[in-house]
Structure 1
């Protein structure tokens, strides 16, 4: 699989294996948001709060998420957001995942216009390491 960090971000992409090693080699900061078990917007916002290390003052809405991802004071210039267990989340929550993708893609575009980079990476658990 090609190294996603060797190219500018392009929408929601499949996360490479050994993502942290690849990211380190390209000076990309990585944060993971675990979507396992997320079934509603509140749980989704809590997953981002936890994954991004936000304070409880985080507004827990689409605008607040967009602001957090596009604020140069809060995010490094080369930043990868890894959405863990995204495929299952998307199948289970079609409308919510469409809203999430819209907010994330808008943020990615804004960050790009600032001359910075925001990779959006979907990661699936490996079949041999899945916990049942």
Structure 2
């Protein structure tokens, strides 16, 4: 069976079952960003800071996020971002999620141009769609 890490990263993809174990097998560093409590840009940047294990000097803006994701000194050559509760976040905050998606996809393209890989994996938490 074909696994997500068998192919070059392309856009935001559905996370595989057991993404952590699978990533470990492919030697992909996996970072988890949880969107459940994101309600504005500030809480989004905080979720990214936590999920990417950034220091407090992270600029908390789109350019700083792009720089962090594309910095070969700071990021492994094979990186996966597990975007937890991402679809719900997109439904709740279409403008904010659109901006985030643009930065993530730009960083993914930059990584590919430099022989690096950045997987963007959307994983939904078990919940009732009525709570969207």
- Please give the root-mean-square deviation of Cα atoms over the aligned residues, in Å: 1.0
Which residue of structure 2 lines up, in the alignment, with residue 36 of structure 1?
Answer: 36
Which residue of structure 2 lines up, in the alignment, with residue 49 of structure 1?
Answer: 49
The count of corresponding residues between Structure 1 and Structure 2 is: 127
Which residue of structure 2 lines up, in the alignment, with residue 99 of structure 1?
Answer: 99
Aligned pairs (5 A) from 1:7-18: 7-18=7-18
What TM-score comes out, normalization by structure 1 length? 0.93
Aligned pairs (5 A) from 1:1-132: 2-126=2-126
* Separation in structure 1 between the aligned mates of residue 124 and residue 61 of structure 2, nearest angstrom: 25
**What residue ranges of structure 1 are gaps of 5+ in the alignment?**
128-132
* Paired residue secondary structure (2:56): coil
What TM-score comes out, normalization by structure 2 length? 0.93
Superimposed CA distance per residue, residues 67-119 of structure 1 (whole angstroms, 9 cap, x where no aligned partner): 00000111100000011000110000000000000000000000111100000
Detail structure 1 runs of 4+ shifted over 4 Å in the superposition: none
* Separation in structure 1 between the aligned mates of residue 3 and residue 96 of structure 2, nearest angstrom: 29
**What residue ranges of structure 2 are gaps of 5+ in the alignment?**
128-132
* Paired residue secondary structure (1:27): coil
* Paired residue secondary structure (1:24): helix
